[in-house]
Amino acid sequence: MKQTASTLRTTLFLLTVVVLLFLQACATPTRHTAVPEALQDQAVIPGLEGVRYRVLKDQEAMVREGQDALRRQLTYRVAHGLQGPLPPAVFLAISGGGDNGAFGAGLLNGWTTAGNRPSFNLVTGISTGALTAPFAFLGPAYDATLKEVYTTVSPRNIMIRRSLLASLFGDAMADNQPLWKLLQKYVNQTLLDAIAAEYEKGRLLLVATTDLDAQQPIIWNMTRIAASHHRKALELFQTIMIASASIPGAFPPVLIDVEADGRQYQEMHVDGGATAQVFIYPASINVQELARAQGVERERVLYIIRNSRLDPDWAEVERRTMSIARRAIFTLIQTQGVGDLYRIYLIAKRDGLDYNLAYIPSSFDVRREEEFDTNYMRQLFDLGYRMAAKGYPWAKAPPGFVPQESAVPQKEAAMPPSAIPVPPAR
């Protein structure tokens, strides 16, 4: 009887320990209070006001930034004795795509080799495009950095997988601290100072995140952040890049401290790809009309790098909840990305932009062994490099708008457009 009681006590003790450990593992992460709905429009980064735009509310501010960028460009030209007509305004939009960002990195390197890569007046980026955009913005001097990042990293450089319990009761399936360390290695004060110098020339670098509380896209003026020389500018710059690439559920959201009506709050930001895969500026802003109102006539050229294939990727789906949900999400992202290309094409046609689109050809059939598979990324980088080095065959319209033979020779699928606005640059 004594032995039975002792065994029971031991069993109860062990069960108590297991329950306590379970509850500890299940403790959900905490956060500060979200910005109340009524104060959304007042929320600012203390000391760094005016560095971002809520696309549904801040269109006037976006227009002013575009006009100011043009004035800075004209001032720079006068100061350096540059005369004659304004050169073409060249825009570059870099999409999301995870490890498929290796394609865009390779394309940019190959474009430099081809000898006709322009200096871009505006560069925009979302998700992996946000990680690429600052280096693309600064030009060929950072090609080696792009190559190193997209051809040498492996999953251990990006994330640490969490346990099943931590995934279920935490805020993500993986910890992205390795990605933070990788980013901090390359995104430093020297890079920020170089970006600030380009801002004074009238150039703009923009990155999108998604404010999950407000369910809105947020556009961050990265050039203005860099040019502020604020003591927290570098930290905010890095934070936004990580936020834009924080795939919901896979990586933790990024919490950003803001102030509204004299009180402190916290916004939850995730991957910009939650609202769009690629962007340029709002459809409601007619860049051509605004420029003409200022007496400016110039050519405008748009390049889009879509870090994805555009054709359907067939696969037999298991009749299991997670398999079905995963496949549906991938399909949504795929079709959303094609829709973004349609929307941008219509804006470009209206505003007289020369539309140029690059994307991963259907002939690329290398399979990943895992996410951020080094071999996969190297081969994709090499593909982008080879295609660009010999003169990239830019598609002049999204899939479905032109006959197959007049675009990049790929198997394509078309879907209707989605929407996300962003400020103009001229």
Burial class (CB in 10 A: 0-12, 13-18, 19+), 96: buried
CA distance 223 to 53: 13
pLDDT of residue 136: 98
Per-range mean pLDDT, top range of 203-207, 398-402, 403-407, 408-412:
203-207
Q: Which two tokens stand for residue 102?
A: 């290796």
Q: Is 139 helix (H, G, I), strand (E, B) or coil?
A: coil
Of the pLDDT bands very low, low, confident and very high (cuts 50, 70, 90), residue 405 is very low
Q: Which two tokens stand for residue 46?
A: 């203390």
pLDDT tens-digit map of 139-181: 999 999 999 999 999 999 998 888 877 777 787 888 899 999 9
Torsion, Cα of 79, 81, 87, 93 (10° steps):
-40
pLDDT of residue 120: 98
pLDDT of residue 292: 85
pLDDT tens-digit map of 274-284: 999 999 987 88
pLDDT at 367 over 60: yes
Q: Which two tokens stand for residue 53?
A: 């735009």
Of the pLDDT bands very low, low, confident and very high (cuts 50, 70, 90), residue 412 is very low
User: Which contiguous run of DSSP H or E holds residue 417?
Assistant: none
pLDDT of residue 3: 52
Contact 246, 254 (CB under 8 A): yes
